[in-house]
């Protein structure tokens, strides 16, 4: 046997016998240049935008310096799609095949993925390609500048969705619900019965328009798409396309540690039990495994970061050893990284993994601060809140169409970067077509209002 | 194709790369950078040291554009979780000396890459003319016909140097498409470019760039003059297929220089403007007959001239103005309280009052250069439309 593809059916049989359950996966070997693009865009075919070009060059530089090597990229769905670098060795590809099956099992069963997949559908690869075509047509029709203006705004807001709402959402009710009059006193009772002609408060004339938005709205992509005063149909479609892709990306982001750990656990386990592999291939694959889940670069004593593969792998390994596979599968189904870390990263485990929290001052000094478990939890999870973006809500649309945005600086602990904030407002005003303001605080904690600076 | 090859660099190595979305979006990014640079072109190129260099391009260092997102203010202290043999209190990195801004501004990485864009000077001139809505000049003399060779069509016979490889290859492919077992190339496939004689209108012009290099002219003054000369000349080149440039520098004497030497010349001593202007008259008589050449004069000075020279200078300037389509005066001085209220300023003012095509501009900073260039070309277009 010479190709990894020959081992694929046997690995799958073994995986199923160990309880993995997943949609079929299409494997495809592609050039490493394509792998790099997939990782830049997050999807094999995605809408064009110049910002991907900058990420692409950045990746290219990293890649040339040998800092990054991608073995596989996998997209959940039915069927799932897995792309393998065609310069992977046989052993690497055997490992990667097993790893992909772990991901496929995870995305089929994990609640966060399920919730997203049920709404977005199980064909994100195809949908994203459709979005790309749709935007390509818009460019032909309206010109690259106009389409880019919409994408500048939409992609700048890509993290600002609200997973508590559905992907397909109704507009707010236009009017406030009629107030049910409480006739609580004998006097009022008699008064209202005096003149039956008296218009009742539920009368159409007295219906009250609901304020817009009726409550602080965190799904900014949806809000702009629905309520921007003069948005054209094709512009709305672009906003909704970006939003749909964000709904797809959310679970990947919110379960990264669990998901990579789960896939790493399964590639290690499947390899160990795959007695049909030639000895050489097995040894090579295990070596590759230890490179992937290594916490600290070879020649270093400490790492100023946590390898999610390593952390997730170590946690699953411990959980399965202690509580058995069924308990682990339950956790896998129900948790996201927040609950997973808080519930299962124990003090003993943190100590075994030699984890610490550090402070990095702006003068370059980096100091180990503590090993307290709660501090570790919060520090690990801090970048994951709110899809990794500041907490911002649309709070009010004025009569003249001016949009007020409110930054929840209390939750985020500090204000917004004013310069960047203004630039985003600039993008936003081009599609909102009315003034947009942001309320936040400055370095000293004083309230400030950001608005686009007059050119 | 050729563009993506030159911009994409050596990573293009397979069929797939022809469809690289990343490269496509990168090119779009560069286009945006170019547009952004274009908007500030007048300031950028005015400051760039391009004059005299053999290269026909300007290199502009640019930063990668950042696609902005809402971000939190940088905290005074970043924190994170690490792994390894370390205990609380351990210092893993020492504060860096001096630099307090630090590289601690995490996440700025993508925006931080700098690269260089090259702009062709001809493109820049085109943009500027478009941007400043400058009219094209109309020549006043020299509509004689000229003979020129231009490429026109192909032939099966010809000199080897005119072999058109691309077209020959196409013929070969066409032939092989219908033949079986065909040789890859035959003589029949070869195509040679044909040249044809074409009558073309010949419009000739000469521009005299005269500079006062006396002791009172500082380096900065000369740099301003130089930049104005450069762009004014570029504008004239747009119009005239044959543009001669003559460089004259003077103190109390005048000399003709080559372009290269001209901008390096620094003299000492006083200013006698008439010497420079007489030198121009001399050269016109010798080499540039006003009946065959459109003549332009630009004179740069800080405005000081010996009062005793007034009459000579007046006479010499009038003589130049008689044959020139335009005489421009550029007063370069950062100190003048009342710009153009100088001895030399008066000379050109009188010229203008006489109804001769002339103009004066005070340039004390680079931005003024474009006003002067714009003023000159607009004035010219009006003149030639009369």
B62-68 mean pLDDT: 88
Which helix (DSSP H) or strand (DSSP E) does residue B152 occupy? strand B145-155
Residue B51 has pLDDT above 70, yes or no: no
**Secondary structure, 3-state, chain A:** CCCHHHHHHHHHHHHHHCCCCCCCEEEEEECHHHHHHHHHHCCCCCCCCHHHHHHHHHHHHHHHCCCCCCCEEEECCCCEEEEEECCCCHHHHHHHHHHHHHHHHHHHHCHHHHHHHHHHCCCHHHHHHHHHHHHHHHHHHHCHHHHHHHHHHHHHCCCCCCCCCCCCCCCCCCECCCCCCCCCCHHHHHHHHHCCCCCCCCCHHHCCECCCCCCCECCHHHHHHHHCCCCCHHHHHHHHHHHHHHHHHHHHHHCHHHHHHHHHHHHHHHHHHCCCCCHHHHHHHHHHHHHHCCCCCCCCCEECCCCHHHHHHHHHHHHHHHHCHHHHHHHHHHCCHHHHHHHHCCHHHHHHCCEEEEEEECCCCEEEEECCHHHHHHHHHHHHHHHHCCCEEEEEECCCCCEEEEECHHHHCCCECHHHHHHHHHHHHHHHCCCEEEEEECCCCCEEEECCCCC
Residue B102 has a pLDDT of 36
As a whole number, the mean pLDDT across chain B is: 76
State the best of A50, A309, A375 to mutate against chain B, taking most chain B CBs within 10 Å: A50
Cβ density class A388-397: b for 16+ within 10 Å, e for less? ebbbbbbbeb
Residue A47 has a pLDDT of 95
Contacts of A107 (CB under 8 A, 6+ apart): A22, A76, A80, A113, A117, A251, A259
Residue B272 has a pLDDT of 86
Cα-only R_g, chain B: 29
**CB-nearest partner of A53 from B26, B86, B101:** B26
Residue B198 has a pLDDT of 60
Residue B325 has pLDDT above 50, yes or no: yes
Q: Do B83 and A354 touch (CB under 8 A)?
A: yes
**CB-nearest partner of A424 from B17, B20, B69:** B69
Residues of A whose CB is below 8 A from B99? 363-364
Instruction: Kindly list the domain boundaries of chain B, sorted by start residue.
Output: 19-67+114-131, 145-201, 204-385
Q: Which residue has the higher pLDDT, B7 or A86?
A: A86
Residue A436 has a pLDDT of 97
Residue B148 has a pLDDT of 60
How far is Cα B261 from Cα A384, in angstroms, rounded to an integer? Answer: 64
pLDDT of B157-210, one tens digit each?
888 888 888 888 888 888 888 887 777 788 888 888 887 766 555 578 899 999
Q: Which residue has the higher pLDDT, B86 or A393?
A: A393
Residue A52 has a pLDDT of 95
pLDDT 10s per residue in chain A (455 long)? Answer: 468 888 999 999 999 999 999 999 999 998 888 888 898 999 989 999 999 999 998 888 877 776 667 889 999 999 999 999 988 888 889 999 999 999 999 999 999 999 999 999 999 999 999 999 999 999 999 999 999 999 999 999 999 999 999 999 999 998 888 766 666 677 777 776 776 665 554 455 567 888 999 999 999 999 999 999 999 999 999 999 999 999 999 999 999 999 999 999 999 999 999 988 888 888 888 888 888 888 887 677 888 889 999 999 999 999 999 999 999 999 999 999 999 999 999 999 999 999 999 999 888 889 999 999 999 999 999 999 999 999 999 999 999 999 999 999 999 999 999 999 999 999 999 999 999 999 999 999 999 999 997 75
Calculate how close chain B gets to A66, using CA atoms only, in Å.
14
Q: Which residue has the higher pLDDT, B149 or B138?
A: B149
Q: Do A416 and B71 touch (CB under 8 A)?
A: yes
Residues of B whose CB is below 8 A from A379? 79-81
Q: Which residue of B has its CA nearest to A373?
A: B81
Of all residues in chain B, the percent with pLDDT exceeding 90 is 9
State the best of B17, B22, B71, B104 to mutate against chain A, taking most chain A CBs within 10 Å: B22
Residues of A whose CB is below 8 A from B26? 50, 53-54, 56-57
Residue B255 has pLDDT above 50, yes or no: yes
Calculate how close chain B gets to A385, using CA atoms only, in Å.
13
Omega within 30 of 0 (cis) for the link into A213:
yes
For residue B111, name the pLDDT band (cuts at 50, 70, 90). very low
Calculate how close chain B gets to A361, using CA atoms only, in Å.
5
Contact by Cβ (8 Å): A391, A408: yes
Q: Do A53 and B90 touch (CB under 8 A)?
A: no
Residues of A whose CB is below 8 A from B20? 33, 37
Residue B369 has pLDDT above 60, yes or no: yes
Cα-only R_g, chain A: 26
Q: Which of A302-316, B5-19, B47-61, B247-261 is modeled with the greatest confidence?
A: A302-316
Q: Do A417 and B72 touch (CB under 8 A)?
A: yes
Spell out the alpha helix ranges (H) of B115-207. Answer: 121-131, 165-178
Residue B44 has a pLDDT of 67
For residue B110, name the pLDDT band (cuts at 50, 70, 90). very low
Residues of B whose CB is below 8 A from A413? 72, 75
Calculate how close chain B gets to A40, using CA atoms only, in Å.
8
CB pairs under 8 A between A and B: 236
Q: Which residue has the higher pLDDT, A134 or B13?
A: A134
For residue B14, name the pLDDT band (cuts at 50, 70, 90). very low
pLDDT of B284-322, one tens digit each?
999 888 888 888 899 998 888 888 888 888 889 888 888
Residue B6 has a pLDDT of 30
Q: Which residue has the higher pLDDT, B223 or B202?
A: B223
Calculate how close chain A gets to B110, using CA atoms only, in Å.
6
Residues of A whose CB is below 8 A from B100? 362-363
Residue A134 has a pLDDT of 95
**CB-nearest partner of B95 from A57, A58, A365:** A365
The interface predicted TM-score (ipTM) is 0.90
Q: Do B28 and A144 touch (CB under 8 A)?
A: yes
Q: Do B82 and A302 touch (CB under 8 A)?
A: yes
Calculate how close chain A gets to B182, using CA atoms only, in Å.
35
Residue B341 has pLDDT above 50, yes or no: yes
* Span between the terminal Cα atoms of chain B, in Å: 47
For residue B386, name the pLDDT band (cuts at 50, 70, 90). very low
Q: Do B100 and A414 touch (CB under 8 A)?
A: no
What are the φ and ψ backbone dihedral angles of A182, each rounded to 5 degrees? -90, 110
Residues of B whose CB is below 8 A from A365? 91, 93-95
State the best of A350, A356, A417, A423 to mutate against chain B, taking most chain B CBs within 10 Å: A356
Residue B188 has a pLDDT of 83
Residue B105 has pLDDT above 50, yes or no: no
CATH number of B204-385: 3.40.50.410
Q: Which residue of A has its CA nearest to B27?
A: A53
B253-257 mean pLDDT: 88
Collapsing DSSP to helix, strand or coil, B300 comes out as strand
Instruction: Kindly list the domain boundaries of chain A, sorted by start residue.
Output: 299-389, 390-450
Residues of B whose CB is below 8 A from A53? 22-30
């Amino acid at each position: 046997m010479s190709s990894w593809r020959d081992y694929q059916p046997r690995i799958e049989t073994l995986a199923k016998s160990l309880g993995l359950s997943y949609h079929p996966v299409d494997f495809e070997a592609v050039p490493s240049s394509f792998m790099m693009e997939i990782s830049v865009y997050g999807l094999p075919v995605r809408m064009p935008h110049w910002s991907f070009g900058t990420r692409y060059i950045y990746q290219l530089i990293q890649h040339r310096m040998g800092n990054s090597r991608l073995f596989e990229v996998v997209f959940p769905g039915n069927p799932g799609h897995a792309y393998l670098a065609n310069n992977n060795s046989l052993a690497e590809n055997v490992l990667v095949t097993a790893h992909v099956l772990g991901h496929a099992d995870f995305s089929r069963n994990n609640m966060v993925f399920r919730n997203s997949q049920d709404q977005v559908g199980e064909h994100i690869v195809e949908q994203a390609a459709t979005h790309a075509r749709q935007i390509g047509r818009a460019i032909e029709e309206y010109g690259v500048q106009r389409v880019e203006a919409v994408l500048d705004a939409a992609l700048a807001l890509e993290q600002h969705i609200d997973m508590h709402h559905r992907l397909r959402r109704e507009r707010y009710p236009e009017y406030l619900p009629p107030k049910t009059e409480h006739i609580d006193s004998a006097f009022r009772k008699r008064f209202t019965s005096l003149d039956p002609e008296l218009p009742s408060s539920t009368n159409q004339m007295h219906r009250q328009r609901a304020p817009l938005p009726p409550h602080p709205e965190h799904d900014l992509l949806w809000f702009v798409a629905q309520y921007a005063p003069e948005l054209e149909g094709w512009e709305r479609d672009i906003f909704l396309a970006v939003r749909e892709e964000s709904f797809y990306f959310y679970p990947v982001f919110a379960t990264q540690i669990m998901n990579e750990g789960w896939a790493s656990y399964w590639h290690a386990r499947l390899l160990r039990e795959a007695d049909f592999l030639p000895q050489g291939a097995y040894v090579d694959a295990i070596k590759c495994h230890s490179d992937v889940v290594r916490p600290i670069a070879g020649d270093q004593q400490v790492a100023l970061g946590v390898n999610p593969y390593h952390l997730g792998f170590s946690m699953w390994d411990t959980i399965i050893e202690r509580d058995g596979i069924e308990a682990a599968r339950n956790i896998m189904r129900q948790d996201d990284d927040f609950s997973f870390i808080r519930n299962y990263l124990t003090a003993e485990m943190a100590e075994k993994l030699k984890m610490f929290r550090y402070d990095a001052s702006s003068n370059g000094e980096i100091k180990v601060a503590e090993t307290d478990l709660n501090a570790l939890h919060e520090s690990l999870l801090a970048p994951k809140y709110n899809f990794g973006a500041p907490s911002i809500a649309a709070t009010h649309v004025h009569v003249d169409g001016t949009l007020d945005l409110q930054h929840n600086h209390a939750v985020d602990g500090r204000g917004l970067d004013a310069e960047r904030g203004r630039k985003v407002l600039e993008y936003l005003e081009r599609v909102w077509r009315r003034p947009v303001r942001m309320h936040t605080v400055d370095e000293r904690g004083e309230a400030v209002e950001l608005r686009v600076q007059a050119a | 194709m050729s563009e993506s090859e030159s911009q994409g660099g050596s990573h293009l190595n397979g069929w797939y790369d022809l469809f690289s979305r990343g490269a496509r979006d990168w090119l779009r990014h560069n286009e945006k950078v170019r547009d952004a640079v274009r908007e500030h072109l007048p300031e950028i190129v005015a400051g760039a040291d391009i004059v005299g260099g053999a290269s026909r391009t300007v290199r502009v260092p640019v930063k990668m554009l950042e696609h902005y997102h809402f971000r939190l203010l940088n905290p005074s202290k970043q924190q994170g979780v690490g792994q390894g043999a370390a205990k609380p209190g351990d210092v893993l990195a020492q504060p860096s000396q001096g630099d307090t801004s630090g590289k601690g501004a995490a996440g700025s990485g993508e925006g931080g890459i700098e690269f260089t864009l090259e702009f062709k000077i001809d493109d820049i001139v085109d943009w500027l003319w478009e941007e400043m809505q400058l009219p094209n000049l109309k020549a006043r003399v020299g509509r004689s016909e000229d003979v020129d060779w231009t490429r026109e069509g192909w032939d099966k016979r010809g000199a080897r140097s005119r072999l058109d490889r691309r077209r020959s290859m196409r013929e070969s492919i066409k032939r092989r498409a219908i033949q079986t077992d065909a040789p890859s190339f035959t003589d029949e496939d070869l195509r040679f470019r044909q040249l044809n004689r074409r009558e073309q209108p010949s419009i000739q012009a000469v521009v005299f760039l005269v500079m006062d290099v006396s002791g009172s002219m500082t380096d900065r003054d000369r740099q301003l003059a130089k930049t104005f000369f450069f762009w004014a000349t570029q504008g004239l080149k747009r119009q005239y297929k044959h543009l001669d440039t003559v460089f004259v520098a003077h103190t109390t004497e005048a000399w003709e220089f080559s372009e290269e030497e001209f901008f390096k010349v620094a003299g000492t001593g006083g200013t006698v403007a008439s010497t420079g202007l007489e030198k121009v008259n001399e050269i016109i008589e010798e080499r540039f007959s006003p009946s065959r050449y459109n003549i332009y004069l630009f004179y740069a000075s800080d405005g000081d001239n010996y009062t005793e020279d007034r009459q000579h200078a007046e006479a010499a300037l009038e003589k130049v103005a008689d044959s020139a389509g335009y005489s421009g005066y550029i007063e370069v001085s950062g100190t003048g309280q009342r710009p153009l209220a100088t001895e030399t300023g008066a000379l050109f003012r009188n010229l203008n009052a006489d109804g001769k095509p002339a103009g004066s501009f005070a340039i004390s900073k680079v931005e003024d250069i474009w006003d002067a260039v714009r003023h000159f070309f607009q004035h010219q277009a009006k003149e030639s439309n009369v």
